[in-house]
Structure 1
Amino acid sequence: MKYGYFLFVFLWAAVSAFAQERVERWERFELTLPGPQTGNPFADVNLSAEFSSGKEKVKVAGFYDGNGLYKIRFMPKQTGEWKYKTTSNSKPLNGKTGSFTCIEPGPDNHGPVQVADTYHFKYADGKRYYPFGTTLYAWTHQPEGLEEITLKTLTDAPFNKVRMCVFPKYYSHVENEPPFYPYVKKSETKDVKGKPKFQWDLSRFEPAFFQHLEKRIDDLKKLGIEADVIIFHPYDKGHWGFDSLGKENDIKYIRYLTARLASFRNVWWSLANEFDYVKTKPRADWDDYTKAVVSADPYGHLCSIHNGSVYYDNWKPEYTHVSIQNGSTVEDFGRATLLRDVFFKPMVYDEVCYEGDLQQRWGHLSGEEMTEAFWQGVIAGTYVTHGETYKNAGDTIFWAKGGRLIGSSPKRIGFLKKILEEAPGPLELSDPWKDHHTSRADSSYYLVYFGKNMQPEWEFSLPRKGGPKTGRKFKVEVIDTWNMTIDERPEIFEIAETTDYRIFDKKRTSIRLPMTPYLALRIKEYRE
């Protein structure tokens, strides 16, 4: 008996508490504690901690990570000394204290993304963030080799946001079984067609599933990519039943997920993809799910809910921005700005159909159409998300499983991204009532987009509202958005006295344009 007791004490000491001593601002502090394994640690053990620095106090939830280990994670928002103390109904986990030092962030650490200037975004350190996203619904549910190919693709792609599901997806072109499941499996049988049928212990999460998800979110962070994490989706069709767990289990899942992921600085919360197609969840329940996420996240990460056919109540304060599925909003001028004027929040058109060759109407945009959608969104002061549905080797489709990009739009989207990031600030329509072609960052910087329209010349003309004063000078660059060229013209334009709603050059000068579609003009103040 004595030998067994001392062996237990030795093993317990060997798995002692572990935590970092120094953590960058907005990085993840992690405390690991050994604790009970008997019974059901997921249900029986409560664990939290309060972190304090001066007058700042933050309470966070802990979680069971399997193998007798419990974790508490925290993202410090300010530098200096932080102290913590745990609270638990389990004696070995209760009353644990410690401290760490939060240091200045490294050069690639700008903090989490936040809303800025009503319709736009910034990192926590003030650096501008312009979302140029792509769609990778089930990329973390694929074989390791394919996931690594996806990461390599993202390394060379222009995208800085990825829409991705927590739960696996059972849908056209993505019907494979994932390597990990979110719950402990009780049994697996075959139906009459030979397809697997599962029973789950919904009181026990599978830590390996979430550890894998976390690894991939960290992989995205290393690439400077935000993870727009989709908490629920309707693409299960009864195969696993993760879309119909019941409200009580849904809330438990939300609490476990947020305890694990809220400290990741590059996480955004998307309550659902196509919430209105999740027929097992009444519309009224989405408010409860949203409040459960927001109340469990002490850092205020960005939060949205995505629609199928019917919009949700996006004006509610829990939603920081609007995530919309609607391809028509970016098919022509003057459309994208309309919803922005309804919700008064950043507009991200997260699904506008996809570049590809699928038969479904949402899966066969041309590269030109996908690129056009991005320009229409950006000109209107909104943002657009990419997706690609070309069939690739092994029936891999980027939008679903990841892999390699073969479409023609990503390079052009990257070209636009560079143009926007070089601007002195985010774009807004100069005159949203009458001119849906002309956007500006300020009175010294304009972007005019023609789309499919072709014309032989352009007379220097800008909206009067918020425009430059008489005598200021400008130069014009002609941008071919498809061929990705920029042609600086030699003319110098000088602003004339304004008498109407437009501003013209003193000499009413025009410039010749090539008769090709998808042209834009970049107009910048000229200083001699």
Structure 2
Amino acid sequence: MTDMTESVEKWGIFELALSGPADGNPFTEVSFGARFRHKNRVVEPDGFYDGDGVYRVRFMPDTEGEWHYETVSNVDELAGHRGSFTCVPPTTPGNHGPVQVHNIYHFAYADGTPHVSVGTTCYAWVHQGDALEEQTLETLKQAPFNKMRMCVFPKHYPFNANEPPLYPYVRGEDGQWDFQRFNPAFFQHFETRVGQLRDMGIEADIILFHPYDRWGFATMPPEADDLYLRYVVARLAAYRNVWWSMANEFDLMKSKHEADWDRFFRIVQESDPYQHLRSIHNCRRFYDHGKPWVTHTSVQHSDLARVPEWREAYRKPVVVDECRYEGNIEKMWGNITAQEMVHRFWLGTIGGGYVGHGETYLHPEDILWWSKGGVLHGESPARIAFLRRLLEEHAPEGLDPVSREGASKGEDYYLFYFGVAQPGRFLFTLPEAHQYRLDVIDTWNMTITPVEGTYSGTFMLELPSKPFHAVQARRVDS
């Protein structure tokens, strides 16, 4: 972050902090923000109260050159502050800007670099205290994941009985939560973790609401919901790695109705000057992902063969954020094998979508990755890393389905996956106008075996007669 300095890297954060009134309720009684101008363009992010009489506004410049700003407020001492800074080219390794939808069904960073989304879920990892949270970050450094699903609110659920160190609200004199007063220390901690993920090249898929609650955060009145959304967006939108998820399992939140979810989407869309990605996650019933404020589908489903169907239904990227979890707990959604998890990743990939990981192995202290983070115990992450490397090398712009078993990147690259089938041979059809080299891939043992010669048109190829194998075809003629 930068506080009144001369230069800020593109897609970095310029931050202005001012002193203002601390009496009354600054969260509801003081409006504060700034207008940032570059040539004839104006961007107007909202500011926020950060406690102790400090007001901040954050801005993520996306255009190089000189920017001028002026603060706006209903309080004289916060209004009319002017300044300027120069936006320079990115200086931080891996800074490619925010992720956006690209070519209808896929993703790319703002500078055009493809983003092959390989996510994981750690719902409550930021609510566990520094020791476990730092361990989670260390684990992520060696893991294949470039997106993390994470909740703002703490979680009440099996394996999640502990109280968090910090809460998003303060209590009133009556001992009840005051939904009109945020706890700045909580959000300072939360945004620190978001920034650490950013610096590791990991997108923070921030879950704004969820039903698993014992504190009353899931049943706040509408005016509190709306105030919360605007505050979170004001604090976090300048982080380039932010994605917005309106909810985890929205359809289980019985106090919210369709009109509420529509309103939440509109508030986030209207409050976010950078238009970060927006989605909503289901349990049983889908939200209408075709609505214009939804940028991509976030799906919970175990039938990955339906990814092409959802692509065509919504004409947006499909991210199966929850396909069940590798683990051994008593819940059926949390005890699939590592081999089944890897199989589902490959199915979703061949369908032209993206798949998310999760892990739920029993632990004597209830430290399960899917919620609290810590360390990974399963065998799927290494195989997921293998798939990610394959995609980033040969099809980083994304694959589109061409058959039940196959997907392609135009006519340059084809990937066929046979799943639980174990064909001893298979009839392939490739474009006759080009020549291709083939490799047989063992998705579990992570081996790539070249096939002699080049191929085109329709041909029969001998295969190992084993499940969980794939074949890639790489175009070799210029």
Q: Aligned-pair distance for 1:113?
A: 0.1
Q: Distance in 2 between matches of 1:326 and 1:95?
A: 51
Match of 1:205 among 182, 185, 193: 182
1:59 aligned partner, one-letter code: E
Q: Residues 288-325 of structure 1: CA distance to partner in whole angstroms, max 9, x if unpaired?
A: 11101110001110001111111111111111101111
User: Does the alignment pair 1:160 with 2:137?
Assistant: no
SS at match of 2:217: coil
- 1:259 corresponds to: 234
Q: Which residue number in structure 2 is paired with residue 10 of structure 1?
A: none
1:72-221 correspondence runs (5 A)? 72-106=57-91, 107-186=93-172, 199-221=176-198
For 2:355, which of 384, 389, 393 is the aligned residue? 384
Does structure 1 residue 426 correspond to structure 2 residue 394?
A: no
Give the aligned CA root-mean-square deviation in angstroms: 1.5
Q: Does 1:444 align with 2:412?
A: yes
| Structure-1 residue corresponding to 2:435 | 473
Aligned-residue offset at 1:393: 4.9
Matched ranges for 1:306-455 at <5 A? 306-328=281-303, 330=304, 333=305, 335-424=306-395, 425-430=397-402, 435-455=403-423
d(CA) in 1 for partners of 2:105, 2:284:
23
- The separation in 2 between residues aligned to 1:53 and 1:215, in whole angstroms, is 29
The Cα of 1:512 is off from its aligned counterpart by 3.0
Q: Which amino acid aligns with 1:280?
A: S
Q: Is the 8 A contact 1:271 1:289 kept in 2?
A: yes
**Structure 2: gaps spanning 5 or more residues:** none
Amino acid paired to 1:57: V
Residue 70 of structure 1 aligns to a residue in which SS?
strand
Query: Does the 8 Å contact 1:187/1:200 carry over to 2?
Result: no
> Residues 356 and 364 of structure 1 are in contact (CA less than 8 Å); yes or no, is this contact kept in structure 2?
yes
**Match 2:449 to one of 487, 494, 501:** 487
TM superposition score normalised by structure 1? 0.88
The answer to whether the 8 Å contact 2:107/2:115 transfers is yes
Residue 457 in 1 paired to residue 425 in 2? yes
Identity of aligned residues (%): 48
Report the TM-score when normalising by structure 2: 0.97
Moved >3 Å (runs of 4+): none
1:19 Cα deviation after fit: 2.2
* Letter matched to residue 111 of structure 2: D
Residues of 2 paired with 1:338 and 1:441: CA distance?
19
Q: Distance in 2 between matches of 1:78 and 1:38?
A: 38
> 2:3 touches 2:14 (CA, 8 Å); kept in 1?
no
5+ unaligned residues in a row in structure 1: which ranges? 1-16, 189-197, 496-502
Counterpart among 212, 215, 220 of residue 245 in structure 1: 220
Relative contact order (C-alpha < 8 Å, sep 6+): which is higher?
2
Amino acid aligned to 2:176 = Q
Among 461, 467, 470, which residue is 1:517 paired with? Answer: 467
Mapped partners of 2:204, 2:469: distance in 1: 32
Give 1:378 deviation, angstroms: 0.5
Give the deviation of 1:527 after TM superposition.
4.0
Residues in 1 aligned to 2:298 and 2:215: alpha-carbon distance in whole angstroms: 27
Q: How many residues align?
A: 475
Distance in 1 between residues matched to 2:339 and 2:3, nearest whole Å: 53
Superimposed CA distance per residue, residues 150-202 of structure 1 (whole angstroms, 9 cap, x where no aligned partner): 001100000000000000001110111101100112369xxxxxxxxx61122
